[in-house]
Structure formats: structure tokens, C-alpha cells
Amino acid sequence: MKRRNIIILLSLLITSLGFSQGNCSKFYPMEEGQSFQYTMSNKKGKPEGTTDYSITEVSNAGGVTTATMNMKLTDKKGKEIMVSDFKMSCTGEGVKIDYNSLVPSQMIKQYTDMGMEMEISGTDVDIPNNLTVGQDLADANVTVNIKMTGMNMTMKVDQINRKVEKRESVTTPAGTFDCYVISEDNISETMGVKQNMSSKLWLAEGIGMVKQEMYRKNGELNSHMELTKYNK
């Protein structure tokens, strides 16, 4: 897998995860069997593939609910690109996503099978239950260090300037939803080479992520993803 594709996937995972209402969260699913499908498009609006999420397991312990999510990424020809599982946990205050879980297990296996070592660190992303317009949200990040014979490689993605911009109604093939719009800046770095982008996330109570857009440094739209169907 090319390093650029890994960075894009990490950015996607960091910025786009948000689902339906559960026991302890307004925006993330905590019930087995729920599933969501998103269609990804390029800046010209042409479909490039789909991402399917499903909840495979939910557990409760010590006042914390933990859900295991399965993600499947498929290209526009229907070819499976990647499958991965990750976990998120929530209390009555909101959701935190474990970045160690967000790094795709398939990517880890690919590198370890090649004799490489991986070290993953980061700061969990936080989505509070009580969002208000103008609210600032905590920064988040993930860093992946890959060690190989004679060479070390570091990939890093930072989410900064996270803010609840406004509320607005959004329509997708899955329906019409009242959403919070969350904006943020995304800085990715691979072996000293940085890429700056920004994103907007439309998040609806009882559903989660409805739409997400990524923008280049100059403000030009780079990619688009929207909810096309879901099963609760």
C-alpha cells in the first residue's frame, strides 16, 4: 500500500466516524446489527467507491460501553480495498475513539509480515453529547512509526482547530437530516513532507455522520462522502 493512501485513510478514519444514537452517545452506534454505507466522490462529484460500517459487538463494564466496528472499503469497480475492525468507547458524556484501534489491522499485518515493527501513539478524538454552535473541541492526533532495516518512517495526522460552526439541514440519498457542522484543519506528515487540508463534518443526532467534505489548502474541494443508506 502506498504511503499516500495510508495517510488518506488515516485522515478519513479520524475525520469521518460518526453514527447513530446509542445508550450513552447521541452520535455513535452502540447496538449490534446497525450498519451504515457511505459513497465517496471526487471533487467533480464522480463516485470513487463506498465505505460500509457495521457494529459487530457491544460490551458494558464499569459504566463504559465499548463497541467493535467493522469497516469495509470498496472501490468504484466493487473491488474490496481494505477491511478492518476498531473500537470506540462512551460514557454518558460522549464518545472517545481509541487511535491505536483506528490504525487498520490489515495494514499492521502487511507491515509485520514484511518484518517491520510498528509503534502507534495518539490522542483520542472526543465528541461530546452536548454540542453547541461556537463550541471549540479538543485537538486529536495519531502517529505511526515504522521501523525497518536501515530505515525508519513516521506518519502523523493532526486534527486541530476543531469547532462547531453551525446547524443546517442536509439532504442525501438516505434522507433529510438536521445537522451540526464541525470544521477542522488536518495536517498529515510522512517523513518530513507535510500536507495541509481542512474538512467539514455534518453530524446528526440519532444518525451520526451524514456528510463529510475534504478541502485542499487553497479551499478547493478535494473529496466528498455522504450517507447513502443505513439500517438501525
pLDDT for res 202: 95
**C-alpha–C-alpha distance, residues 50 and 37, integer Å:** 7
- Enumerate residues 6+ apart whose C-beta is below 8 A from 61: none
CA distances from 218 to 53, 85, 162, 181 (A): 31, 34, 18, 20
Neighbouring C-beta atoms of residue 87, cutoff 10 Å: 15
Neighbouring C-beta atoms of residue 3, cutoff 10 Å: 13
Find out whether 11 and 196 touch, Cβ atoms under 8 Å.
no
Per-residue pLDDT of the chain (232 residues; tens, 9 = 90+): 444 455 555 555 555 555 444 457 778 767 888 899 999 999 888 999 999 989 999 998 888 888 888 888 898 899 988 888 878 888 878 887 777 655 666 666 677 777 778 888 888 888 888 899 999 999 988 888 888 777 788 888 888 999 999 999 999 999 999 999 999 998 888 877 888 999 999 999 878 889 999 999 888 999 999 999 998 7
pLDDT for res 22: 47
**C-alpha–C-alpha distance, residues 136 and 184, integer Å:** 10
Domains and CATH numbers, the chain: 3-231 (2.40.360.20)
pLDDT for res 18: 52
pLDDT for res 2: 44
> Is residue 106 within a helix (H) or strand (E), and if so which, with residue range?
helix 105-113
Q: Which residue is listed with cell 454552535?
A: 133
